A = this chain, B = another copy of it.
Amino acid sequence: MRVKPRTDEFPAPEVKTFPDCTKIQTHTITIVPRYSETDQSGVIHHTVYPVWFEMGRTELLRANGLAYSDLEKNGIYFVVAELSVKYRRPAFYDEKLDLVTTCTRITSARVEHSYRLIRQSTGVLLAEGTSILACVDKDGKPRRMPAFMYPEEEPEEKS
């Protein structure tokens, strides 16, 4: 069973109406690497990028009117099924980075995202990545994605 955030610590959460559908496909956030994210080779450790990717898709979801924490409160969990990263150039401590997250495909079972990490000062691409998330319930069992998250027709899935 997955954890349910304790609500007695908080003011009663507002009743959340889920959006009709997710309309925004791409969202950009600024990342400033933390000192704790560097390693002794003087660059950001490669395992930090997937942490940022998770932040990127969280903010893409929020741009669509929804907090991931609201999904979890409704028993909807996303788990990472696949992840890939290509590291092109190192990222450094305290520089400004743009992380562009794009939702590339949604079906009733999976969400695919792509990520581009770009140095703000030069526009240089530092890394690219993709992920596939699966939707599960509080017991970790696969479940359908909430309807508002994917187009009703889903023609590419019915063929």
Contacts and interface: CB of A to CB of B under 8 A. Distances in A.
A3 interface: yes
A94 interface: yes
Given A39-B36, A45-B35, A81 B87 contact: yes
A98 B109 CA distance: 30
A5 B42 contact: yes
A6 B10 contact: no
A45 B36 contact: yes
B36 A51 contact: yes
A46 interface: yes
Given A3-B1, A68-B94, A36 B11 contact: no
Given A6-B1, A122-B11, A40 B35 contact: yes
A106 interface: no
Nearest to A37: B39
A54 B148 CA distance: 39
Given A3-B41, A43-B79, 10 more contacts: A1-B42, A6-B139, A6-B140, A35-B54, A36-B39, A43-B140, A46-B80, A47-B50, A79-B87, A83-B85
Interface of A: 1-6, 8-11, 34-36, 38-43, 45-48, 50-51, 54-55, 58, 67-69, 72, 77, 79-87, 89-90, 92-95, 121-122, 139-140
